[in-house]
Structure 1
Amino acid sequence: MRQNQPIWYDSSLGGWRLFCYEDIVRVQNDYQTFSSEPSNGGSFSIIALDPPRHRQLRSLVTPAFSARTILQQTPRIQRIARELLETALARGAMDMVADFAVPFPILVIADLLGLPPDNWQRVKEWTDTLINQSSSEVAQRSGRNASSTLPLDEISRVLAQATQDHHQQPRESLLRLLLAAEVDGQRLTEQELLGFFLTLLVAGNITTTQLLGNAILCFDENPEAWEQLQRDRSLVASAVEEVLRYLPPNRGTGGSRTIIGGRRATTDVEICGQLIRRGEEVFVTTISANFDEHHFSDPDRFDIGRMPNHHLSFGHGIHFCLGAPLARLETKIALELLLDLLPNWRLLHNVPLEQIRNHIVFGAQRLPLVFST
């Protein structure tokens, strides 16, 4: 498609799909021409806002998610990861997805928000519902059934309880930051606060869950890369970036009105010789961009030492993933602990490898591992 049809009308999405790196960067950079907001407005999520409101809201939490600030959370994140892996170590086997990749980032984001850790399974259900609900937009356009809706009333009650707990016993957390935040002298509205809370709590764990599972797939397929990592721990950070490029946790991204990845043209515009009419939607294809031969040498090779590695798995432009530093640190910590505690893990191939069945995330449903110390 990159070579022969770099822009293509995808009837299942009801919009134009892009495949080349440069075109995707152009769309993600130009929010004035390619809007993230729905045509009827009314969004309260930062994901579906354009400047100036997007800039105002993002500026509230950007300091809390900076690489420097997130790095200070390293001991807390290491403790959570170690507890999960030591539990698996005692059993001699685990499902990388269910036993580690799912609970780990949920427990981390709950801790950062100042929430109790005892209800992480419910957060997982909310995450699945959010992803399936967004994916069902594609299914509806293709004539398939839609999934269940997100229980916003329940999530609102959790937020209200967390707010009450915070007022009774304040602690340093992202929730405290949100409750104290002001834009032009005004506090966040209930809807805006709920939108932030939902984005941080639910969307904040999706990427890392898939990234951790996809790392196992990459190293299982390329065992020499895992051996290289065991010899040279300095490659862990670049290995995380190569997993992001080679098996990205999402199929498409880019600061979208929905989590699917669409942008709405605000005027008639031409891309790759194709006229896009005002109001039509444009969707990016991250996986394709990450293998664009014009930007990556030998893109089909998994190279944990690849430098530079400007993949688009976290998006580009003003909607670049807010949680990227956290996802990177969580994955780096997980790989380092695997190297320390479970270096001789092995993926069982007698269990069929099944993809998660939706149009948003990219990963496996189950990854059974066995290991010896």
Structure 2
Amino acid sequence: MLPNWIVNIRTLVFVGISSSGLYGRIPLGFSELPNLKSLDLNSNENLSASASQLFWGSRRKIEEIDFSINKLHGKLPASLGNTTSLIYLDLSNNVVKGGIPSSIVVDLSSNHLKGSIPRPGVEVQLLDFSDNHFSCPLPENIGQIMPNLGFLSISRNQIIGAIPASIGELSSLIALDLSESLGQLNLLQTLHLSDNRLSGAISSALQNLSILETLDLGNNRLIGNIPPWIGEAFPSLRILRLGSNAFYGEIPPALSNLRSLQVLDVAENKLNGTIPASFGNLKAMAKIQNGLHYLFYGRFSFGGSSLHFFQENLNVNINGQPLVYTKILSLLSLLTSIDLSGNNLYGQLPEEITKLVGLVFLNLSRNHISGQIPKSISE
């Protein structure tokens, strides 16, 4: 146990008793030590206290607090937001509940927090709210209120609403983790994350975005197999861009289940195997598009009068030349394309591909396709 007399040493500046097998309750007097700057009691799994009784007001000098991997419980007090000297706070792996006061630098991962994500009043560098119970949008002005943010994790929550455009203003950001949170964006129809430095595999949480019409992950550093569940999860998907990444393995035949697909781009990857014969079942490419199929989203009313839409943009690579279609309206009704170029595909071009009579662009260059071109391709 921690002896109660320790909180009577008024000259204490630093207390570090981590990973020491301590148990019992944390003495409450730490908050009254006027000169204490650092308190580290992390990884004492049987050490407990109420969060509402532990923290400091604006009078104290405390800069670092680490109570991670203990049995801290209860709600954080509002006075914590007034601890202006605080630089680092780690309460991860406890059972803290309730909302979070603003104006602090925190690691509050693996707790039971809920409510709104706080909008800190300081220029934080690390913010970890992963594995909690937040069910709210990300702050729209996150890029302005936290310009020095280097690490942001809100994974394993239930984030709703749109991903704010101001995230793109976080020029110091090194790590961004929203995994297992995006799956709650049930109204999302278009998702563009292209031309970044995203790495790792495609998150399985995306398969919950059941009304998605555009998925653009092109020109990143994504790896792994293309998930077959893409073919089942997005019945309305019309644009799929996975080009210029590092995907490997075979093209999953399940992609042919995307009945509405008009643009497929998996170029410039490390894919191998043959072209799936089932691509002949891509229904939207099996007919000539001559109707007006507008691709725009988000009919919003402002002030009860004006209407605004998000209109889709699209990049298509034709014979090595990038073409950019902006504000697609009827253009998409005329455009269907498959780009498999720059991979390691081999074998013959399946005759079933000739069923795609509405296909406008087909790019198979820089592969190892062999055999004869099906005669029926000219019919």
Q: Does TM, normalized by the shorter one, top 0.5?
A: no
Greater per-residue helix proportion: 1
**Structure possessing the higher radius of gyration over alpha carbons:** 2
- Normalised to the residue count of structure 1, the TM-score between the two structures is 0.17
- Normalised to the residue count of structure 2, the TM-score between the two structures is 0.17
Greater per-residue strand proportion: 2
Higher relative CO (Cα under 8 Å, sequence separation at least 6) belongs to: 1
